[in-house]
Amino acid sequence: MLLDEKLQEIKAKIERNTNDVTANFKSLMSYNQEKVLEAFLNNNISDFHFNPSTGYGYGDTGRDVLERVFAHIFKTEDALVRPNIISGTHAIYLSLKSALDKGDSLLTIGRPYDTLQKVIGFSGKDPLSLINQGIECHQIPFEVNNDLKLLDKYIKKHHPRAIFIQRSRGYALRDALTIKKIKMLVDYIKGMSEDTYIVVDNCYGEFVERMEPSEVGADIAAGSLIKNPGGGLAPSGGYLVGKKELIDRAVSYLTAPGLGKEIGSSSLDKRLLFQGVFMAPMIVVQALETAVFAAKLFSDLGYKVSPTYQEARGDIIQAIELNNREKLLKFCKAIQKYSPVDSMVTPQPGDLPGYENKVIMAAGTFVQGASIELSADAPLRKPYAVYFQGSLVAEHGKIVILKAAEEIGL
């Protein structure tokens, strides 16, 4: 067996000590599952919706109905759900472009995720970054989410057309934003400037709570299908949900002006997309249970964790400050070693497009890079924090976390 008697005893102790937290996940899953089921029933899903399409994709009812399912779940006017949205970063770029034109101003609350730095133009020299397309971009200290009055001077000075909110922590040691906090931000911003669009990066946050950013006033939200809403089954893709006017503009950037949503074939078996979002509420709870277990285990071992096992969560990511480069590498290698796929592979730090530091990524996943599956990654910079997320099965996640702790000196 992978877990010896000592690890089995630690596992049982952690589970007892976190039961008061994990017991609440059942009601969360039940609520979100009912929401998803309602979307399927209201749209009369049938197996013919799963069929692939070719050519221009005219008459692809599965594509169209899947987007109505997402709009229903997220309670928005419209949705764009396509396998050719290649990543969460791509989906977020489309959402920002939908809200901004040349000469407009964008404010970001806090430092955006590494790959978005070049998209916006805060780093790099890409000629098609937002800044190089004539959009004025400013970064607001993340602390404004704790003192909303700090937003006043930024809004009054820059008159932003859009404000970008990143729900997840990304590669930053800050709290993920809960829906309650997002609502406070949205209400305050709209109270000052009702014409300002609120754009939310919803990656890693879907189904973590009972409500989504679009239900508390966000004008458009975006994410990846190989994260939470793909349920571990979606092989690719991304989504945008929000106001119809913004979705229409995003479609034009994804395809070409004037083509609209009624075009775009997919050779994928769309069953995986439908079934993935149907299973997502359950899969997200598996990831949350794994994260709570990891938080309690590593805090008991003396490491700083964020969030703690008892804190409210806005995403599925668990940050652990290892404060040691070698421990960080050993942790990620252990995650890979005990993954169901590519366990024989040894991950190494490398340069990745869009990242400023070398990054090590461990993901022995059925879908390449799917971070709703068990994965861990980290930029090689102090305090050598590892960002751990996902798990299709919580029991698997717990085994791997225990073995990772053992590898670095339990």
Determine the pLDDT at residue 246: 98
Sheet containing strand 385-389, strands side by side: 304-306, 318-321, 385-389, 375-379, 359-362
Q: Are 287 and 182 in contact (CB under 8 A)?
A: no
Whether residue 273 is predicted with pLDDT greater than 70 in this model: the reply is: yes
**Comparing C-alpha atoms, which of 204, 189, 198, 200 is closest to residue 240?**
200
Q: How many helices (H) and strands (E) does the chain have?
A: 11, 12
d(CA 165, CA 45): 33
Binned at pLDDT 50, 70 and 90, residue 1 comes out as confident
Determine the pLDDT at residue 404: 97
Beta carbons within 10 angstroms of residue 5's beta carbon: 8
Determine the pLDDT at residue 172: 85
d(CA 54, CA 69): 22
Determine the pLDDT at residue 351: 85
Average pLDDT over residues 47-62: 95
Average pLDDT over residues 335-342: 97
Whether residue 353 is predicted with pLDDT greater than 80 in this model: the reply is: no
For tokens 């899903």, name the residue: 45
Matching CATH number, 5-32+277-407, of 3.90.1150.60, 3.30.365.10, 3.30.43.10, 3.60.150.10: 3.90.1150.60
Q: Please tell me the total number of residues recorded for the chain in this structure.
A: 410
Alpha carbons within 13 A on the beta-carbon side of 224: 19
d(CA 362, CA 371): 10
Q: What is the per-residue pLDDT across 197-248, written as a single tens digit (0 to 9) for each? A: 999 999 999 999 999 999 999 999 999 999 999 999 999 999 999 999 999 9
Whether residue 352 is predicted with pLDDT greater than 80 in this model: the reply is: no
**Comparing C-alpha atoms, which of 88, 78, 93, 80 is closest to residue 263?**
80
**Token pair of 381, please?**
């910079």
Determine the pLDDT at residue 202: 98
Determine the pLDDT at residue 144: 87
What is the DSSP secondary-structure string of 139-176? EE-GGGGT-GGGHHHHHHHH--SEEEEE-S-TTSSSPP
Whether residue 130 is predicted with pLDDT greater than 90 in this model: the reply is: yes
Determine the pLDDT at residue 338: 97
Phi-psi region for residue 75, left (φ > 0), alpha (ψ -120 to 50) or beta?
Answer: left
CATH 3.90.1150.60 in the chain, residue ranges: 5-32+277-407
Note if the pTM is more than 0.75. Answer: yes
Q: What is the per-residue pLDDT across 18-44, written as a single tens digit (0 to 9) for each? A: 999 999 999 999 999 999 999 999 999
CATH 3.40.640.10 in the chain, residue ranges: 49-268
Q: What angle do CA 335, 336, 337 make, to 5 degrees?
A: 95
- Which stretches of 129-255 are assigned E, i.e. beta strand? 136-140, 162-166, 197-201, 220-224, 238-242
Determine the pLDDT at residue 171: 85
Of all helices (H) and strands (E), which one includes residue 386? strand 385-389
**Token pair of 319, please?**
């940050």
CATH for 49-268?
3.40.640.10
Q: What is the mean pLDDT of the chain?
A: 95
Determine the pLDDT at residue 354: 67
Average pLDDT over residues 83-109: 97
Whether residue 175 is predicted with pLDDT greater than 70 in this model: the reply is: yes
Q: Are 214 and 221 in contact (CB under 8 A)?
A: yes
**Token pair of 303, please?**
């490491």
Cβ-based neighbours of 23, under 8 Å, separated by 6 or more: none
The three-class DSSP label of residue 389 is strand
Determine the pLDDT at residue 153: 87
